[in-house]
Amino acid sequence: MSYDEFITKIESHRLKRLASEPQGFYLESDGEYYNCIICHASITGDTGWWDHNGTKCLSCQNALNIGAIPVSICSDRTSWYATYELVNQFKISPSTISVMVREGKLKSRKIKAVSGPTSFEIFLKQENEILENYARH
């Protein structure tokens, strides 16, 4: 079986399962590793969730459930920046990002780890027009 056939088979199985579990479900414990479509964390069956928005870690899924982040980011990766992108693309240091968030110049959406501190932070483009100024420089 080719890789594409394997992926198609998994996807088909998940879509059938979604019909009976429309809110989504934990990934299968099949020994495979997956990546969260939002934070790119490595996940397995017991640490991953799958629904019509794709494969996510439990932290990102919880953030979606409580409305901390909008569902639209699952399908529109161009609508937001991760912290590492602000550092790499705009040359804004992590400490400056923190200061800008504290001062209200940047608005972040924090994705809390299932247990513990923030595990991932995103910046929606529509909420952070100031970044357009950085893009021009």
> What digits encode the pLDDT tens for the residues 22-70?
999 998 887 788 899 999 999 988 889 999 999 999 999 999 999 999 9
C-alpha distances in angstroms, 43 versus 26, 55, 94? 11, 9, 26
Residue 20, pLDDT above cutoff 70: yes
Q: CA–CA separation, 66 vs 30, rounded Å?
A: 28
Residue 3, pLDDT above cutoff 70: no
Beta bridge partners of 80: 124
Mean per-residue pLDDT of the chain: 89
> By percentage, how much of the chain surpasses pLDDT 90?
61
- Show the CA angle centred on residue 58, arms to residues 110 and 28, nearest 5°: 160
CA 102 to chain centre: 23
Residue 65 · residue 53 · CB < 8 Å? no
Beta bridge partners of 123: 81
Q: CA–CA separation, 3 vs 16, rounded Å?
A: 20
Task: Identify the three-state secondary structure at position 119.
Answer: strand
Determine phi and psi for 15, rounding to 5 degrees.
-65, -40
